Chains A and B, each alone.
Chain A
Amino acid sequence: MSWRDGIALALRSIMRRPARTVLTILAVALGSGLLVALVAIAQVADTQVIGQLGKGGPTSAITVVPAAATQAQLGSDSAQSGQPDPITPEIVSTIRRAPAVSSIQTVISQAVIVVPPPLGLSIPNFLGDDPDRGLPRTFFDNLVGVDLSSASQLPITLLSGRLPTPGSASEVVVTAAYLDHLGVDVKHPEKVLGTVLEIGAPQVVDATNGTVRSRWTRAAITGVVAQNAGNGNILASQELASADRAWQLSGVDGAGIGLPLPASPYAGLIVVADSLGDVHQVRAEITTLGFANSAPEHLVASTQRYLHVVDIVLGAIGTIALVIAVLGIANALLAAVRERRREIGILKAIGARDGDILRWFLTEAFICGGIGGILGTAFGLAAVTLTAQVVDTYLVGQGLGSVSLGGVPVLVALIGVLGSVLLSLLAAAWPALRAARLPAREAVGAL
Chain B
Amino acid sequence: MRFDWRVIEAPPPPDRGVVIRARALAHGYGGGRNNVSVLRGIDLDVGAGSHVALQGPSGAGKSTLLSLLGGLEPPRSGQLSVGEHDLRGIRGRALADYRRLVVGFVFQHFGLVDVLSARENVMLAMSLSRVPMAARRRRTDEALNAVGLSHRATHRPAQLSGGERQRVAIARAIVKQPRLLLADEPTGNLDDDVAVRVLDLLDTLRRERGCTLVVVTHSALVAGRADRRLSLHDGVVDDGMVGS
Binding site for B on A (CB under 8 A): 1-2, 5, 8-9, 12-13, 15-16, 342-343, 345-354, 356, 439-441, 444-447
Instruction: Check A356–B70 contact: CB distance below 8 A.
Output: no
CA distance A336 to B109 in the complex (A): 21
User: Which of B92-100, B194-202, B221-229 lies at the binding interface?
Assistant: B92-100
Residues of A within 8 A of B111 (CB): 342, 346, 349, 444, 446-447
- Of the candidates A2, A8, A350, A354, the one whose C-beta lies within 8 Å of that of B99 is A350
B142 interface residue, CB < 8 Å from A? no
By the criterion CB–CB under 8 Å, are B127 and A444 in contact? no
Question: B130 and A350: CB pair below 8 A?
Answer: no
Taking a contact as CB atoms under 8 Å apart, the answer to whether A447 and B128 are in contact is: no
Chain B residues whose C-beta falls within 8 Å of the C-beta of A15 in the assembled complex = 115
B129 within 8 A of A: yes
Q: From known contacts A444-B72, A447-B72, A447-B184, infer whether A350 and B128 are also in contact, taking CB-CB under 8 Å.
A: yes
Contact code string B111-145 (vs A, CB < 8 Å = 1, else 0): 11111100010001101111000000000000000
Could you tell me the dominant secondary structure of chain B's interface residues? mixed
Assuming the A-B contacts A444-B107, A444-B111, are A351 and B72 also in contact, with contact meaning beta carbons closer than 8 angstroms in the complex? no
Q: How far is the CA of A342 from the CA of B113 in the complex (A)?
A: 9
**A5-B73 contact, Cβ under 8 Å, with A12-B116, A353-B93:** no
We find that the number of chain B residues with CB closer than 8 angstroms to chain A is 36
16 additional contacts (CB under 8 A) given A351-B100, A439-B73: A12-B116, A16-B115, A342-B111, A345-B72, A348-B72, A348-B96, A349-B72, A350-B105, A350-B172, A350-B176, A352-B100, A441-B73, A444-B107, A446-B108, A447-B66, A447-B184
Majority DSSP secondary structure for residues of A touching B: helix
Measured CB to CB, the closest approach of chain A to B161, in angstroms, equals 17
CB distance from A348 to the nearest CB of B (A): 7
Residues of B at under 8 Å CB distance from A? 63, 66-67, 70-73, 92-93, 96-97, 99-101, 104-105, 107-116, 120, 124-125, 127-130, 172, 176, 184
Q: Are A5 and B63 in contact (CB under 8 A)?
A: no
Most buried by B among A15, A343, A350, A444: A350
Q: Which 9 A-B pairs give the minimum distances between C-beta atoms?
A: A351-B100, A12-B115, A441-B73, A441-B72, A5-B127, A353-B96, A440-B72, A446-B107, A446-B111
Partner of B125, one of A350, A356, A439: A350
Q: Check if A1 sits within 8 Å of B184, measured CB to CB.
A: no
Q: Which residues in B have their C-beta under 8 angstroms from that of A353?
A: 93, 96, 128
Give bound CA distance, A345 to B97, whole Å. 15
